[in-house]
């Protein structure tokens, strides 16, 4: 038996790969659910009910999918240029705390229609700043940005923890370390009344389309793809590699920072150090499940959100730890990698 | 200044260094072994987490402490097989596969832990490894309590570092590993099977990572809790670069790093008015600084992160 490179990739395989990967991941997690002594199909049925069963749970799933779309896009644009930005978690927190810093007192005098877009830009810029450090280290000292951007996550969360325990601490929070709330008129409008679903979902979906258009229709999009496919070749063809990577990093970090800003302005209103249940890391999975396609990211984020929200309800009724959602999502990354491999190779005897 | 001097002169600081360094020594050596054979193993953070969980769980269910370490090592080896299948057999991106292994191994650890140990106010504990007082030496003034009152796995870590240095630089196995990491095609021409060497190195390396994780629950602490590995795996990846892929320097790097960590911990209580988060940041900042200083100078294995496929360039 040996592996042979396919001469062309059949379309059904490209489209089917994520579906097969998710089915495989669900089957493998099913084994874990069975070992725990719960009925597997009943567990998955309850996950679906938990995610869609009522108006409340459906809006909750969409609310959860919003930051995942943005962190997924952040990873997708970076990975396409082979910029390994694993720091979306830290960029998310920096975007969140920037919004809390400027939106609670400093700029609260501005009127809503000016304040809201301004805060979103500030959040995005905070995320950009954080990814530019690992990128600078890579371009200047040839340091692998995977490890540095990962380590930045820990620094960013500690930095946020310092601020919400210090200058930005909410004195009304009974001593809990949490930031001062952003002004009421800085909050994003609700999409559906009496739910947590906010306009951020629309922003995320629109941005997915924008990123798709940038990647497929602009010179920068072409250059960033070239930088990922073959850096030496790209330089040879006249692509300014450093400048392209800086732009990619700004786009990626900006999206992750925006995710944090939107989560604060759309849902919480303030920042704590458990604002993100790993949105940054889950974004990597979302991007891979989408095969780095920005439109695919929207659907991959939905799948991930269904697992997380649905597992909460399933866990309450069947007693399976909610971590099963994290396991399934992580497994789907691994199965997706294997599925993608078989779109490129086939087994020959 | 006298504060700094007091901290440096306390035997507690020097005893803490070896204790803090131990998981880093195991983890760094494990990562180093994988990378010497040409495979970056970013699964380390998750593998350490799983080692910490399964080692603790074994002991909690009645196994003795050494069995706990062994179970962790075997589990780590199994994750090594997973990482090898993805990166060696299939030749997938080592970055993404490694992150996938980390995400899976850590969430799987939490799942298993939560399944077996229900939520409780105080987490259940075990009886961890006790310090061994080395006869005569431990009664030396100052040096005795600092160096010779550690738990057994700490001494094991130092032995493993020396053995690995010997294997890598002095044995045919070490030569085969080095060749595979530098130029797998040339290695194959010499009758070495690069696939087998990479499998072996990644499995053994992952086992060491898991033992490093298990040290946390079986010696440094006595219970398991989620996120307890706290980025130590990523720090190990940085230490490998700092050590320039040499086991001796890895040992030195881990000790140096642990020195700064132990020092900042004591500084936290001695210095007032500085937020404690600043001190907690230092290990991560130091790791990044070490990478920036060493990345250009270090001699990277030439075939690191390059998949090997027979008959394909």
Contact A330 B238 (CB under 8 A): no
Task: Say what angle helices A88-101 and A279-289 make with each other, to 10 degrees.
Answer: 130
Has residue A154 been placed in a domain?
A: yes
Which of A278, A99, A113 is CA-nearest to residue B102?
A278
Nearest to A334 among B100, B238, B295 (CB): B100
Residue B147 has pLDDT above 80, yes or no: no
Has residue A45 been placed in a domain?
A: no
Has residue A32 been placed in a domain?
A: no
Closest chain B residue to A324 measured between Cα atoms? B111
- Burial of A176 by CB count in 10 Å (0-12 exposed, 13-18 middle, 19+ buried)? exposed
Q: pLDDT for A259-298, tens place per residue?
A: 999 999 999 999 999 999 999 999 999 999 999 999 999 9
Has residue A63 been placed in a domain?
A: no
Say how many residues make up chain B. 313
- pLDDT confidence bin for A306, thresholds 50/70/90: very high
Task: Say what angle helices B2-9 and B247-270 make with each other, to 10 degrees.
Answer: 130
Q: pLDDT for B289-310, tens place per residue?
A: 988 988 877 788 888 988 887 7
Has residue A321 been placed in a domain?
A: no
Domain that includes residue A275, residue range: 81-282
Contact B103 A326 (CB under 8 A): yes
Reduced to 3 states (helix: H, G, I; strand: E, B; else coil), residue B257 is helix
Element containing residue A16 per DSSP (H, E): helix A11-35
CB atoms inside a 10 Å sphere around CB B28: 34
Reduced to 3 states (helix: H, G, I; strand: E, B; else coil), residue A121 is helix
Count of domains observed in chain A = 1
Write down the ipTM of this complex: 0.94
Domain that includes residue B55, residue range: 21-117+144-230
Which residues are within 8 A (CB) of B105 and not within 5 positions of it... i.e. 6 or more apart?
B43, B46, B47, B49, B50, B79
Q: What is the pLDDT of residue A102?
A: 94
Count of domains observed in chain B = 1
Task: Supply the DSSP string of A226-271, one letter for each residue.
Answer: HHHH-HHHHHHTT--HHHHHHHHHHHHHHHHHHHHHHHIIIIISS-
- pLDDT confidence bin for A174, thresholds 50/70/90: confident
Q: pLDDT for A28-53, tens place per residue?
A: 999 999 999 999 999 999 999 999 99
- Give the gap in angstroms from C-alpha B232 to the nearest C-alpha of chain A: 10
Q: What is the pLDDT of residue A323?
A: 94
- Render the burial of A191-228: b for 16+ CB within 10 Å, e for the rest: beeeebbbbbbebbbebbeebbebbeeeeebebbbbbb
Judge whether A312 is closer than 8 Å to chain B, CB to CB. Answer: no
Q: pLDDT for B128-137, tens place per residue?
A: 999 887 777 7
CA-CA distance, B58 to B69, in Å (whole number)?
9
CA-CA distance, A82 to B168, in Å (whole number)?
32
In chain B, residues with a C-beta closer than 8 Å to the C-beta of A158 are: 277, 280-281
Has residue A195 been placed in a domain?
A: yes
**In angstroms, how far is the first alpha carbon of chain A from the final one?**
4
- pTM summary value: 0.94
Has residue A215 been placed in a domain?
A: yes
């Amino acid at each position: 038996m040996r592996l042979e490179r396919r001469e062309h990739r059949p379309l059904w395989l490209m489209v089917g790969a994520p579906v097969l990967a998710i089915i495989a991941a669900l089957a493998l997690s099913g084994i874990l659910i069975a070992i725990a002594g719960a009925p597997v199909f009943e567990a998955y049925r309850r996950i679906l009910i938990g995610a869609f069963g009522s108006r409340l749970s459906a809006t909750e799933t969409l609310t959860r999918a919003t930051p995942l779309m943005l962190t997924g896009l952040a990873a997708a644009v970076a990975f396409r240029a082979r910029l390994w930005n694993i720091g979306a978690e830290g960029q998310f927190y920096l975007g969140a705390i920037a919004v809390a810093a400027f939106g609670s007192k400093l700029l609260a005098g501005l009127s809503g229609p000016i304040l809201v877009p301004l805060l979103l830009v500030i959040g995005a810029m905070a995320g950009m700043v954080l990814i530019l450090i690992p990128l600078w280290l890579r371009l200047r000292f040839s340091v692998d940005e995977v490890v540095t951007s990962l380590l930045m996550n820990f620094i960013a969360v500690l930095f946020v923890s310092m601020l919400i325990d210090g200058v930005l601490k909410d004195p009304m929070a009974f001593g809990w370390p949490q930031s001062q709330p952003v002004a009421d008129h800085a909050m994003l409008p609700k999409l559906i009344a009496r739910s947590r679903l906010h306009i951020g979902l629309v922003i995320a979906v629109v941005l997915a389309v924008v990123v798709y258009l940038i990647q497929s229709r602009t010179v920068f999009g072409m250059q960033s793809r070239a930088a990922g496919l073959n850096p030496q070749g790209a330089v040879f063809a006249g692509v300014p590699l450093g400048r392209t990577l800086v732009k990619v990093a700004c786009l990626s970090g900006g999206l992750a920072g925006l995710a944090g800003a939107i989560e604060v302005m759309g849902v919480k209103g303030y920042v704590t150090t458990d604002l993100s249940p790993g949105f940054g890391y889950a974004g990597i999975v979302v991007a891979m499940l989408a095969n780095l396609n920005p439109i695919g990211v929207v659907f991959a984020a939905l799948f991930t959100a269904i697992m997380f929200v649905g597992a909460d309800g399933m866990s309450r009724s069947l007693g399976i730890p909610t971590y099963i959602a994290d396991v399934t999502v992580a497994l789907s990354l691994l199965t997706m990698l294997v599925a993608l491999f078989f779109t490129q190779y086939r087994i020959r005897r | 200044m006298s504060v700094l001097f007091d901290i440096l002169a306390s035997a507690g600081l020097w005893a803490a260094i070896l204790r803090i360094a131990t998981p880093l020594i195991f983890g760094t050596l494990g990562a180093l072994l994988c990378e010497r054979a040409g495979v970056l193993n970013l699964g380390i953070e998750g593998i350490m987490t799983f080692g910490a969980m399964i080692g603790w769980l074994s002991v909690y269910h009645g196994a003795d402490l050494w069995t706990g370490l062994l179970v962790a090592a075997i589990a780590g080896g199994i994750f090594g097989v997973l990482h090898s299948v993805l990166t060696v057999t299939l030749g997938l991106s080592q970055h993404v596969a490694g992150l996938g292994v980390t995400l899976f191994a850590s969430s799987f650890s939490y799942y298993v832990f939560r399944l077996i140990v229900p939520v409780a106010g105080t987490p259940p504990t075990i009886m961890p490894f006790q310090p061994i007082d080395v006869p005569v030496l431990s009664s030396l003034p100052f040096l005795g309590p600092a160096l010779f009152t550690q738990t057994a796995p700490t001494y094991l870590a130092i032995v493993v570092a020396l053995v690995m240095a010997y294997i890598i630089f002095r044995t045919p196995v070490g030569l085969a590993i080095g060749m595979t990491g530098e130029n797998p095609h040339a290695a194959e021409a010499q009758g070495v099977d690069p696939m087998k060497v990479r499998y072996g190195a990644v499995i053994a390396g992952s086992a060491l990572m898991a033992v490093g994780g298990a040290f946390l629950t079986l010696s440094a602490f006595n219970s398991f809790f989620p996120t307890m590995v706290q980025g130590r795996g990523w720090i190990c990846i940085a230490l490998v670069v700092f050590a320039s892929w040499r086991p001796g320097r890895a040992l030195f790097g881990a000790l140096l790093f642990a020195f700064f960590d132990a020092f900042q911990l004591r500084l936290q209580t001695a210095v007032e008015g500085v937020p404690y988060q600043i001190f907690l940041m230092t290990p991560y900042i130091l790791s990044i600084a070490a990478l920036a200083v060493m990345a250009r100078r270090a001699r990277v294995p030439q075939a690191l992160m390059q998949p090997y496929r027979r008959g394909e360039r």
